[in-house]
Amino acid sequence: MVLDLVLIGLAVTLFPLPVMAFVLVVASPRGVRKGLVFIAAWLACLVAVIGAVVLLTGGKPPAPRSPPSTAAQVVTLVLGIGLVGYAWYRRRRVRRGAAAEPAAERVPRKAASPDGVSVRSAAALPVLLQPWGMVGAAAATVVQADLSDAGNVVALVVFCLLATSSLLAMELSVVFSPERAHRTLAGLRGWLTRHKEPAIFGLCVLLGLWLISRSLYQLAP
């Protein structure tokens, strides 16, 4: 479980779309405050998903090969296949030269108005841009968490922090070195704008294949 959560957390924090949106948020007037709102909403999504799973399981993992355990592995398998399929869908879309962007990806550009991103938008963007397929895979993994084990509790906390680490790093850089941070983040956003498709493809395929292989191994007789 721990390794799965670490890999999923890394994929979530490196996913380009939220990073690009966060750069716009912290670049707007009162960006530090709005960045904190963004991070709080981002963490709230993660905590809500994990909390819902823990409430369902009672903090105790189901017995191996039991129907709930098997269902969690099947969900993981489906999400892994979905991530790989999503990666190939985006790849084909780029090759066809599709002009229209998905609605969620147009939100950050609309937010880049002369007045910057509003506080309300800063709170809404994490919900719209959260990589929910990856978060769903984390939720299916958390089914195996045993809250009576301190190590499992630490793993859940580490996952939330790891999945938020890129945002936290950018927020801290803006707080302690604003001018340098804004130049660096502007360059980062430009780089991601040019390379986001290969990044999304690579992250989704690698994580998807990992989830598929892990779930098939667990489901094997």
The band of 76, judged by pLDDT with boundaries at 50, 70 and 90, is: very high
Decide: 13 and 135 in contact? Cβ < 8 Å.
Answer: no
Decide: 157 and 38 in contact? Cβ < 8 Å.
Answer: no
Residue 188 CB neighbours (<10 A): 16
Q: Which of 25-29, 131-135, 142-146 has the lowest mean pLDDT?
A: 25-29
CA distance readout (Å), 19 to 55, 119, 121, 181 = 30, 17, 15, 14
Residues 170, 134, 13, CA angle at the centre, nearest 5°?
A: 15
Q: How confident is the model over 93-97, as a mean pLDDT?
A: 77
Q: Considering the chain, what is the average pLDDT of its residues?
A: 88
pLDDT at 99: 46
pLDDT at 116: 63
The pTM (predicted TM-score) of the whole model is 0.88
Q: Residue 128 above 70 pLDDT?
A: yes
